[in-house]
Amino acid sequence: MSKKVTDVVADLAAPIVNELGLELVDIEYVKEGKNWFLRVFIDSDDGVDIEECGIVSERLSEKLDPLDPIPHNYFLEVSSPGAERPLKKEADFQKAIGKHVNIKTYEPIDGEKVFEGILESFDGKTVTVTVTIKTRKKQVEIPYEKVAGARLAVIFG
């Protein structure tokens, strides 16, 4: 198969979640131990419940079965991305402005590769985060192409 499994699944899942008024957040296809897992993460502004996850799982299974893009047994899991949802697309960064985030970069910026703080702005090229170092606040500008991973971060305390 020329397309990656996650791309095939995204093509099948997108119309299903859109029809339900939900958002397709992410798709993972991973091996854990001897088992393979196909994880589909969905969300909405109001969150998602177990019933919505079940509907997406059932409809997606119906689409996957005849195509059979995965040659071996796997577990299909459909769930919410949780409180620390990943920021994958530019729109995710836009929605996260003003929220607490954790960003990892491919290479150091000001000697650091992990930044946690408030996402101040995103213009499509630069992610600006206010981080607190001891008691001092500092704005860090991170080139978007250097972002290795980003997610919302929950603050405990």
- The Cα 52–Cα 80 span in angstroms is 10
Q: Is 110 left (phi over 0), alpha (psi -120 to 50) or beta?
A: left
**Is 38 or 135 the better-scoring residue by pLDDT?**
38
State the Cα–Cα distance between residues 79 and 54, nearest whole angstrom: 9
Structural domains for the chain: 5-79 (3.30.300.70), 90-152 (2.30.30.180)
Residues 6+ apart with CB under 8 A from 3: none
Structure confidence by residue, pLDDT tens digits, 57-88: 999 999 999 988 888 899 999 999 988 889 98
Report in angstroms the alpha-carbon separations of 82 from 14, 78, 110, 111, 128: 19, 12, 31, 30, 24
Tens digit of pLDDT for each residue in 4-33?
999 999 999 999 999 999 999 999 999 999
Separation of alpha carbons 119 and 139, rounded Å: 10
What pLDDT score was predicted for residue 141?
Answer: 96
Those residues with Cβ within 8 angstroms of residue 124's Cβ, 6 or more apart along the chain or in another chain? 90, 144
For the chain, the average pLDDT equals 93
Predicted structure pTM score: 0.78
